[in-house]
Structure 1
Amino acid sequence: MKKRMLGNTGMEVSVIGFGGIPIQRVNQEEATKIVLECRDRGINFIDTARGYTVSEEYIGNALKKAGRENFYIATKAMGYDYESMKNFIEESLKTMQLDYIDLYQVHNVSKMEQLDTVLSENGALKALVEAKEKGLIKHIGITGHIREILLKAIENDEFETVQFPFNPVESQGTELFTKALEKGMGTIAMKPIAGGAFGKGKLSLKYIMNSNLITVAIPGMDSVSQVAENAAIGIDGEPLTQEEMEEIKKEVESLGNDFCRRCGYCKPCPEGIDIPNVFVYEGYAIRYNLPEYGKLKYDGMPVKADACVRCRKCERKCPYNLHIVDKLKHAVETFKNLE
């Protein structure tokens, strides 16, 4: 497995990491087998989150057999103020039964006000810095889906890594990753197969490996066979052939513009709908085959997709000309069918 330095952290991580969302749909025994396969295939970077229900628990238990020393463990939490983040760090350590976590990230900063809170005197960053000083965490990162917010965030030197969507159909993170690399930050590609929308997963990972923008890509995996297939891309290390580039081009064209990139330009919705997250949660239910988790996240939204009054202000702001109103209607039906 090829390895790269994760920015200036000193961590030499495998170019293919393990994304911890999908193991929510397997049991502990299978999760342990998956983590063991990661170890045997040379994958040494695991990413999970407080919000991924049993993921942290499964990973922590699996490490007892797979060996904590064989992995760099990254997790994250949507705690933006000091107390929330402090509590989340303690919960992660307890749940995963670890003395320290290699990388703790502020998870899914989607509003500039949230970033302001994170960076404030009593913000999450203060809690992360304190935890780092105590040795509870080793490094600090940030994740999100809105480029402009993360571009602002990485101006703060405390952040050592940045995690953002990147794949052949989602290249809006190019400027962000370029600037992060110039600062010596590690770059982590979430949604490397576009949440399952990109049909040629191996080619998508190979594309990312050849982009010179990404330190580690973290495809979600819920089977031993998926680990073997994805790990092989990290071993290959060959440049894309002309034929492969043509395949990628055709796949991108087939997806067309009917695909939410979560750029956030559609916001704010006059009715208060968090439009990008509606599609993210629907994706969990449909593409990730996590209907219960997707519905749980959707049900927790203060304003649901059925609040849409079809004003179409979002559509006029969408740079990809998506039929957002129709897609929201589709989401309403998706979650109604899950009841």
Structure 2
Amino acid sequence: MHYRRFGTTNHHISTFSLGTMRCLASEDIFQQTVARALAQGINHIETARGYGQSERFLGRTLQALKVAPDTLVLTSKIPPSPDASSFDRHIDETLERLQVSQLDCLALHGINTWQHLDWIRHPQGCMQAAQAARDDGRIGHLGFSTHGFREVIATTIETGYFDFVNLHYYYFFQRHEPVIELAHHQDMGVFIISPADKGGMLYRPPDTLKALCHPFDPLLLTYRWLLSDPRVTTLSIGPAIPAEISQELATLDDGPLTEQEQAALDRLAARPTTALGADLCRQCYACLPCPEAIHIPEVLRLRTLAQAYDMTAFGQYRYGMFENAGHWFPGRKANRCTSCGDCLPRCPENLDIPTLLHQTHTQLQGPERRRLWG
């Protein structure tokens, strides 16, 4: 396992981190999953107040496994709040559940909107409690997680309040590259959220994607793409069972890409233009805002992945979250389009956006899917 400095926390953490949102079928499975991760050399475990029994399971597991505190970096997450007193109480509850007197890293869980940013700037908001907990030793370092738009993320980074950021950035979603650079410039740790799942359900790649990536496994190739970037600290894995922690993670190279790896990535990069031609959305976001609150670029990104790489199952999974996940995945479904034409003059590619939206809805509207945590 390779290790990297996690920004100004100065913790050296494994290039893969264990996320504990999914391994909750039983406490025994949870404990086995943590034990396997530790055996692979993973030394950073992330949980959250909102992950069901995860904090309690983790506290009891670390006691049962007799894990020395100085061998492990623990991160938990608490949602932002406009109320300092309730946030302070939540910190104490997290410490109690984890059975620790100090938490290495605390992230504000989901600074996704401008309102969330206002809450952390407010003098009586959650940052008052978070900073007080850091000052009195209950918290080591502060960060934030985000599913928000790039502009919200950049502004949050620029506050200077945080030592690390958890965000979405993948081979198949590179829009956040500027905030990766901004975080690096601020010497922040960069934690990539769920690249196997949110990055494309790459643990079940379609045949088209496997052929384009050959001789490499699509998941491992995109892991390599991320780890070849020295600005990235760690990638989250979120196994449901111990067997989902691949032994290959412990030995995966984190150096520069090889010529053969770059050739495979070049094939991936060329595929959308070949497959979609003049109908390719290039993700400039000039079409927003939409009067019907449709997240047009994200809808069309999912369309591109389905048509270029046959990643239809992933497209259906993510598309099904529209109107079902609030600020965690904002936007209405594409069939809400009224063909008003408001977006058309702003599109530099002159795409027939209303037609593409309705086509995408037909292709990706699958069965209803419930979020794991509401």
Per the shorter chain, which TM-score range?
0.7 to 0.9
* C-alpha separation in 2, matches of 1:251 and 1:52: 35
Query: Helix, strand or coil for the counterpart of 2:16?
Result: coil
Distance 1:336-1:188 versus aligned 2 partners, 3 A rule: closer
* C-alpha separation in 2, matches of 1:189 and 1:225: 22
* C-alpha separation in 2, matches of 1:27 and 1:113: 36
Distance 1:159-1:276 versus aligned 2 partners, 3 A rule: farther
Distance 1:182-1:238 versus aligned 2 partners, 3 A rule: closer
Counterpart check, 1:298 vs 2:324: yes
* C-alpha separation in 1, matches of 2:171 and 2:89: 37
* C-alpha separation in 2, matches of 1:185 and 1:311: 43
* C-alpha separation in 2, matches of 1:337 and 1:184: 37
For residues 225-278 of structure 1, give each alpha carbon's deviation from its aligned partner in whole angstroms, at most 9, with x where no partner exists: 3323353245x3343222222333444566788999999877666456789999
The amino acid across from 1:169 in the alignment is F
Counterpart check, 1:148 vs 2:151: yes
Partner of 2:242: 224
Distance 1:319-1:185 versus aligned 2 partners, 3 A rule: farther
Distance 1:22-1:212 versus aligned 2 partners, 3 A rule: same
* C-alpha separation in 1, matches of 2:103 and 2:167: 20
The answer on whether the counterparts of 1:273 and 1:304 sit within 8 Å (CA) in structure 2 is: yes
Alignment of 1:1-339 (within 5 A): 1-24=1-24, 26-66=25-65, 67=67, 69=69, 70-83=71-84, 84-145=86-147, 146-193=149-196, 195=198, 197=200, 198=202, 199=205, 200-229=218-247, 231-234=249-252, 236-251=253-268, 270=291, 298=324, 309-311=336-338, 323-324=356-357, 333-335=366-368
Partner of 1:283: none
For residues 41-72 of structure 1, give each alpha carbon's deviation from its aligned partner in whole angstroms, at most 9, with x where no partner exists: 11001122222223323322221233152321
Q: TM-score, normalised by structure 1?
A: 0.79
How far residue 21 of structure 1 moved from its aligned partner, in angstroms, is 2.6
Distance 1:5-1:336 versus aligned 2 partners, 3 A rule: closer
Partner of 1:282: none
The answer on whether the counterparts of 2:146 and 2:167 sit within 8 Å (CA) in structure 1 is: yes
Structure 2's unaligned 5+ residue stretches are 206-217, 301-312
The amino acid across from 2:161 in the alignment is E
The answer on whether the counterparts of 1:166 and 1:191 sit within 8 Å (CA) in structure 2 is: no
Q: TM-score, normalised by structure 2?
A: 0.72
Quick one: percent identity of the two aligned structures?
Answer: 23
Query: Helix, strand or coil for the counterpart of 1:195?
Result: coil
Distance 1:153-1:300 versus aligned 2 partners, 3 A rule: closer
* C-alpha separation in 2, matches of 1:299 and 1:329: 20
* C-alpha separation in 1, matches of 2:169 and 2:141: 22
* C-alpha separation in 2, matches of 1:329 and 1:140: 43
Q: Which has the larger radius of gyration?
A: 2
* C-alpha separation in 2, matches of 1:154 and 1:260: 28
How far residue 144 of structure 1 moved from its aligned partner, in angstroms, is 1.2
* C-alpha separation in 2, matches of 1:220 and 1:259: 32
Distance 1:278-1:334 versus aligned 2 partners, 3 A rule: farther
CA RMSD for the aligned pairs?
4.0
For residues 63-113 of structure 1, give each alpha carbon's deviation from its aligned partner in whole angstroms, at most 9, with x where no partner exists: 123315232111212223234432332332233232221111112222112
The amino acid across from 1:207 in the alignment is W
* C-alpha separation in 2, matches of 1:261 and 1:65: 51
The answer on whether the counterparts of 2:142 and 2:161 sit within 8 Å (CA) in structure 1 is: yes
The answer on whether the counterparts of 1:206 and 1:233 sit within 8 Å (CA) in structure 2 is: no
